[in-house]
A and B are shown apart, each in its own frame.
Chain A
Amino acid sequence: DQQVKQNSPSLSVQEGRISILNCDYTNSMFDYFLWYKKYPAEGPTFLISISSIKDKNEDGRFTVFLNKSAKHLSLHIVPSQPGDSAVYFCAASVGTGANNLFFGTGTRLTVIP
């Protein structure tokens, strides 16, 4: 039972353009959402997060949008750079604690120079 879903396994974008990575969830009790970025042979690294009390959080080139009514989360990267090429994992949590954290299957982003 996959509570967090990333339906696009891969995405290719031209350098300088916007990358939009999508994530859907099923559990309305999730109150905290995160994006992790993973390079080959490395562990996932935290990128950006958002609380369910907000609908947008911005950090430099990265913006996360939350649509609670649609149970949908998206990560926008503007402008995209070749160094952004990685696998991006969406995750959602009910409260704190690793045992309450659920991950999506990841989307591989390729930014084409």
Chain B
Amino acid sequence: SAVISQKPSRDICQRGTSLTIQCQVDSQVTMMFWYRQQPGQSLTLIATANQGSEATYESGFVIDKFPISRPNLTFSTLTVSNMSPEDSSIYLCSVEDEGGGSFGYNEQFFGPGTRLTVL
């Protein structure tokens, strides 16, 4: 299993500012994923970050709002830009178990999350 750390663990930010969240994995992985969990909602995939190429964003998420970097195989950042109170969420990064899981499906390992509050 992969060990994933995130920084910061939580932050309180002012409207209109930006916050960059870091995700570090203890092993090299091909893809890293960024999720958002708004209060009372399910985990929603924001984007997939591949090393050496642009991130792939899911419907409803755009690069200008959530720019992502993936400089190497163990690290990624997600920036939440021009924040509004609606961006208050828990942001999580995850990686797949590339060793193979059950039924041919690779389970995901999640970081501890970053709790963001925008005032």
Query: Which residues in A have some Cβ–Cβ distance to B below 8 Å?
Result: 2, 4, 32, 34, 36, 41-46, 49, 51, 89, 93, 96, 98-99, 101-106
In the complex, the answer to whether B109 meets A46 with C-beta atoms within 8 Å is yes
Residue of A nearest to B44 (CB): A103
Q: Which residues of B contact A45 (CB under 8 A)?
A: 109-110
Query: Which residues in B have some Cβ–Cβ distance to A below 8 Å?
Result: 4, 9, 31, 33, 40-45, 48, 56, 58, 92, 94, 96, 101-113
In the complex, the answer to whether B105 meets A49 with C-beta atoms within 8 Å is yes
10 A-B pairs closest in CB distance:
A43-B110, A103-B42, A103-B43, A51-B103, A46-B107, A98-B33, A105-B42, A44-B110, A43-B111, A43-B112
In the complex, the answer to whether B58 meets A93 with C-beta atoms within 8 Å is no
- B32 → A minimal CB distance (Å): 10
In the complex, the answer to whether A101 meets B108 with C-beta atoms within 8 Å is yes
In the complex, the answer to whether B94 meets A105 with C-beta atoms within 8 Å is no
Residue of A nearest to B6 (CB): A43
CA distance in complex: A41, B110 (Å): 12
Q: Which residues of A contact B112 (CB under 8 A)?
A: 41-43
The 10 listed contacts between A and B (C-beta, < 8 Å) are A32-B105, A34-B107, A43-B110, A43-B113, A49-B105, A103-B43, A103-B44, A105-B40, A105-B41, A105-B42
